[in-house]
Chains A and B, each alone.
Chain A
Amino acid sequence: MLVVGQKEEEEGKVSVRSRYLGDEGMKDLNEFIDAICREIRTKEIRKIEVTE
């Protein structure tokens, strides 16, 4: 999940919430895209560290 509001729009970032680590904080959009593309390309199986 990527949450976007004022801060995110101003800085070109996204607030990342994943089912693996929960709240991952604000990230640069391009960095996020690179990371998730790699996760998809390598078919990574991540461990879920947080409970919902």
Chain B
Amino acid sequence: MKITLKDGSVKEYAEAMRIIDIAKDISEGLARNACAAELDGKVVDLRTVVDGEHALNILTFNDEAGKAAYRHTTSHVLAQAVKRLYPEAKLAIGPSIDTGFYYDFDCPPFDREALDALEKEMKKIIKEGEELEYFTMPREEAIKFMEEKEEPYKVELIKDLPEDSVISFYRQGDFTDLCAGPHLMSTKGIKAIKLISSSGAYWRGNEKNKMLTRVYGTAYTKNADLDAYLEHLEDIKKRDHNKLGREMELFATVDVIGQGLPLLMPKGAKIIQTMQRWIEDEEEKRGYMRTKTPLMAKKDLYVISDHWNHYKEGMFVLGDENDPNAEVFALRPMTCPFQYYVYKQSQKSYRDLPCRYGETSTLFRNEDSGEMHGLTRVRQFTISEGHLVVTPEQIEEEFYGCVDLAKYCLTTLGLQDDVTYRLSKWDPNNKEKYLGDAEQWDKTQQRMREILTHLGIDFTEEEGEAAFYGPKLDIQAKNVYGKEDTMITIQLDFALAERFDMFYIDANGEKKRPFIIHRTSIGCYERTLAWLIEKYAGQFPTWLCPEQVRVLPISEKYNDYAQKVKAALSENGILATTDERSEKIG
């Protein structure tokens, strides 16, 4: 048996061996730190027996897959602790995740005290240092095994596995779990653990199923690393816009008004006003014409745009659709059709194009109350929206212009390094969701690809994220918890000009179809404010601050002078206040 290691060195053995034993042969230290292995590029368990000729790489905590195995074993230790302290609890699924692991249990939720007790039990289990024993069972036996243990979720999982699957288990002392692995050799290698929180989660993510208790935790090889991570978590919580934004009195939500309908308070409203004025002026400099169009329209408009087909569940409909005599309206989820009618008010020639229309546009999208979150997931929001009506020859240049504007906005806000770029493509397996045919999609997507490459933009591609009328360039950002959302979007539309019969007269006097570019410049004001709150932990650059200077007289005697100073500042357009409480200033 011959194996080639990552550094190119080769080891030969007379007979087949487990990977862990190969590791021991290489060095004791390596075997102690081994968490998993890569055999011919595939991640496998350390217990795997190797024979023949292979490439082998021993993975430790410093490798992604090694770290995942370390934390996965920790999740099993958690499950074992839960079964010891709460024998009635049923086990569901417990995988590792990028920040640690979680495990779902069918049992009442845990408070901090309960989590601490579980942590203590976990440390006990780790000290017991049981080895994890891997074994497989034929399907029928495995089902019976889990039924005898009264673990209905595990039974369901087994039944859902494909007929020819290997059904494996790992046993550590008094605890056995259905698992594909990989796992550490024993629990005693786990050094620093922490149970972070407990929340609810539906079995299989389906709200029709039972709500289980999900415990989140993490594990590290060194206590110092765990402490650093927990400190980072604390910092994150402090920056969470949903907490900080409310504390700073930038926004509030009121239950009786509804979820996802935040009130921008004076300070928050001021920041948005500052951004809005800046963006509107900037767009004007770049040749945009301003429009101000209705927030609602008759259903007929959305039938033409095909929103009625592709978007209805997301719209607030006003009036009874089923009453043939009623006029049915809907609040707008997008501004496109409105600006198209602005375009159509007069016949355009190729000399009039590109037509760049901009609007500070309030939109409405109906989503579940449960999905609503702070300023980032809301039902009513305002975006710096625009549509460019262009000739096919103008597409590249105008697209660059939109990207340039987006980059200018990001750089001014200091967010340029916090974003990633995604080419959002259609899902060719779901054609009914989109307008246009495969040829149009491929051609337009390729065009976008070329433009982005030409601009030197590093981008990923993702299927299924396109608009129903064309592919998008989505500029994505993550919130403090690592959740990604779209900040700014620029979209190539090859379909709607046709549906709205938009045209221009070309140099030969012939009617031609324009292309449309949909885009935002600063994105959604509410969401961008959320990112700014988290990026600056509330310490915005001065130009954005709702209060820029505060004048403090050290005693009443100087109130007049303080007022004079404030007046001078205000005259110069500086947002100033005075604080005349006669408290001692340190």
Q: Interface of A with B (CB < 8 Å)? A: 1-6, 8-9, 14, 19, 29, 33, 36-37, 39-41, 43-46, 48
Contacts and interface: CB of A to CB of B under 8 A. Distances in A.
A9 B561 contact: yes
A2 B551 contact: yes
B85 interface: no
Interface in B320-370: none
Q: Which of A2, A8, A9, A37 has the most CB of B within 10 A?
A: A2
Contact of B555 (A5, A14, A46): A5
A9 B278 CA distance: 36
Interface residues of B, number: 26
Nearest to B551: A2
Given A29-B568, A36-B574, A3 B552 contact: yes
Contacts of B561: 4, 8-9
Nearest to B576: A2
Contacts of A2: 549-552, 565
B543 A44 contact: yes
Contact of A33 (B555, B557, B569): B569
Contacts of B562: 4
A15 to B, nearest CB: 9
Determine chain A's interface SS by DSSP, over half rule. Answer: mixed
Given A4-B562, A29-B568, A33-B574, 4 more contacts: A2-B549, A3-B554, A4-B565, A29-B565
B539 interface: yes
Nearest to A5: B554
Contacts of B539: 19, 48
Interface in B515-562: 539, 541-543, 548-555, 557-558, 561-562
A41 B572 CA distance: 11
A33 B541 contact: no
B412 interface: yes
A16 to B, nearest CB: 9
B392 interface: no
B565 A40 contact: no
Interface string B454-497: 00000000000000000000000000000000000000000000
B507 interface: no
A40 B543 CA distance: 4
Interface string B395-419: 0000000000000000010100000
Contacts of B278: 43
Nearest to B278: A43
A33 B585 CA distance: 23
B573 interface: yes
B574 A37 contact: yes
A37 B558 contact: no
B416 to A, nearest CB: 11
Sort A-B residue pairs by CB-CB distance and give the 5 closest, nearest first: A5-B554, A9-B561, A40-B543, A43-B543, A45-B541
A39 B550 contact: no
Q: Which of B278, B539, B551, B552 has the most CB of A within 10 A?
A: B552
